[in-house]
Amino acid sequence: MSVGGASSAGRHRGNQGMTRRCANRQKDEARVKKGLILAIETSCDETAAAVVRDGTEVLSNVVSSQMDIHERFGGVVPEVASRKHVETITRIVEEALERANVRLGDLSAVAVTQGPGLVGSLLVGVVAAKALALSARLPLIGVHHIAGHIYANRLAGPLAYPLMALVVSGGHTELVLVERPGVFRVVGNTRDDAVGEAYDKVARALGLPYPGGPHVDRLAAEADGEIVLPRAWLEHDTFDFSFSGLKSAVLHVLNQAAMRGETVETAHLARGFQESVIDVLVTKAIRAAREFDARQLILAGGVAANRGLRAALAKACEEAGIPLSIPPFDYCTDNAAMIAAAAFLKWDAGEFTPLSMKAEPLMSLEDWSVGAASRPASP
């Protein structure tokens, strides 16, 4: 009897184990279907984490800025930035999960900015994401930072392909053709300074605080006059940009005035600089959208928060009959929700990143494209 009883108990325990395994498997399948992604962004001086469902529904988006720390130096100090990331990353991730009311076990994947960016800052996020993915047995997705900026627009509404993206930030100025979801082709690039970098340098010359973009934008809007500056159009058929000459033109105006003992109206010079930048950016973006038959033009990157640029691009697109998408201000500057939005493209395609992933400060956007790994190399 005891033997029979033991066998019955054993079968009962076995059935319980099988039931638990089935329940866990069903839970795993349901979890995967949700597309719930925790993303981490530490490419520069913001420590950010977000939880986003299906690449569009933001459940939480937490950003810790280091702006007040780097302001005294007039720019980001890489070593300081990476140390601050180490100090805050755990707290920011915990807060993102808490605000979203989810646990690690509820997630479908962990995403992180793999590049480009400051290598020390990137490493902090990459190591944190690897640890989370490994401990929770979740897929890992390395994300291109610029893909994140572009897909920040997906958080505002649907996208129409093919689309042309004007990417404007502190380190990038590009025109990117997005032929279909997650497939990128860079058709124009800056040959020297990125537009955000030019804004910071001009702001410094004008005696304005760091970061310079918002201050130049404000002065330009308030100005009742303009010091006209040159436009760098380059070759007639190129979509490339150049802003180093414009920066030099601003310095020339200031130096000439100083030599003559005259005072330059700062607001007028700020307006002249901004008008030159906007004229070139908008004209080339509209021309590229037309040439590549884009169904939509989108603005992306930190400089997308520039009110003068937003207004000028909206007016030009309306006149050209080209639909325009601009992300909300919260999604223009570096954040993790945009990284999750881009990561969803890879998750949906089943393209995950191995735990051997390294931070790539010079990562290629085109090589990151969905399906790029399976496409044959160009001859």
Rg (CA), the chain: 24
Q: Does the N-terminal peptide bond of residue 376 adopt cis geometry, omega within 30 degrees of 0?
A: no
Read off the amino acid at residue 321.
Answer: G
Q: How is 72-100 classified by DSSP, letter by letter?
A: GGTS--HHHHHHHHHHHHHHHHHHHHHHH
Strand (E) or helix (H) holding 248? helix 244-259
pLDDT values of the chain reduced to their tens digit, one per residue, 379 residues: 333 444 444 444 444 444 444 434 434 443 444 799 999 999 988 899 999 999 999 999 999 876 666 676 677 777 787 898 899 999 999 999 999 999 999 999 999 999 999 999 999 999 999 999 999 999 999 999 999 999 999 999 999 999 999 999 988 999 999 999 999 999 999 999 999 999 999 999 999 988 889 999 999 999 999 999 999 999 989 999 999 999 999 999 999 999 999 999 999 999 999 999 999 999 999 999 999 999 999 999 999 999 999 999 999 999 999 999 999 999 999 999 999 999 999 999 999 999 999 999 999 999 999 998 765 544 4
- Residue 308, token pair as written in the block: 């003068």
Instruction: Please check whether residue 45 is in contact with residue 65, taking contact to mean a CB–CB distance below 8 angstroms.
Output: yes
pTM value? 0.87
Angle formed at CA 149 by CA 239 and CA 72, multiple of 5 degrees? 100
* DSSP SS3 for 64: strand
State how far the Cα of 257 lies from the Cα of 241, in Å rounded to an integer. Answer: 28
